[in-house]
Each structure stands twice: as structure tokens, then as C-alpha cells.
Structure 1
Amino acid sequence: MRIYVKAEGRRYFIPVPLVFAKWGMSLVKSPFIMKNIPENERKYVEMIDFNELAKCLYILKEYKGLTLIDVKAKDGTIVEITI
């Protein structure tokens, strides 16, 4: 997975192996992370089934080059996540 960020005239490229993405998703449900999420937003995180989401990442691996997220903000910041 590749994360591209363009902000304030600078471009950033962050390669993220899918193994690390899966590992990061498993950490979200840990008590350390959950206590730092605001109470009113915690219900949204609790609704996500991270095991199923991890399975989806490995299925998406077959679609190399697929753009998952392409966001352009008013201030010119661009974020793109590609498999």
C-alpha cells in the first residue's frame, strides 16, 4: 500500500506493507489506544470488525494500483492511498 500526501508545497510518499497495516488494525482495539479516543467517537471504532477488515486488505492485494482514497482539501492538501 502506498500513501501519498501533498501539503504546503511538499510531497510525501509513505510505503506501508500490508502486514504492517494489519498489525496496526489489531492495535486499535487495545486498551491503550481506546482510552485516547474521545468517548463520543469511540462507538464508531467499536462498530468496526477489524478481523474482517484485515481479510479485505489481503483480497485487495490482488488489485494492485487501485486507489482507495483520493481526498483534496480546500487548502490544497491532497491525500491518496493506493494498493
Structure 2
Amino acid sequence: MPLRNLALLGSCLLIVACSKVNQENYAKLESGMTKPEVEKLLGAPDDCAGAMGMSSCTWGDSKHFISVQYAGDKVIMFSGEGLK
């Protein structure tokens, strides 16, 4: 049983280490990028909301995240927190 727990822990660490929510990808974001370009870089967002042509999508959790705001499907603003 301890070997199984160790394997599970190792898998979890690999998933976290491979997260696309990091400083390197944040630095690649630019105003004017399209939603498909952002999703190619960061993957599918964890949460999106919007109305009247404006939307905001977030990748990550409450401590480590990237948030992107769109007008239509173009990036107008973005922010991040806890990135490594």
C-alpha cells in the first residue's frame, strides 16, 4: 500500500509541475490575442463569465491563476497571481 501512495503522490506532483498556469506562459500573453490563441497557450479555462460582448476567463485556482478579459474574442487585459 505505501508504494501505491507514493505513486499517487508522484503523479500529483507531475500534474502540478506541468501546469500551463505559469510565469512563462503569462509572459506570452498579449493584448489583441484571440480566444483560440489564448486557449492554445493555456488550455481550456477553468471558469468563464460575461455579457454584452465582454467576458472574463480564469485558469488555475484562487492562489495561482491567470485571468484574461476579452472584448468580443480579443484580449483587452490580463492579470496573474502566484505564478512561478
Shorter-chain TM-score: what band?
A: under 0.3
- TM-score of the aligned structures, taking structure 1 as reference length: 0.26
Higher strand share: 2
- TM-score of the aligned structures, taking structure 2 as reference length: 0.26
Query: Larger relative CO (CA 8 A, sep 6+): 1 or 2?
Result: 1
Higher helix share: 1
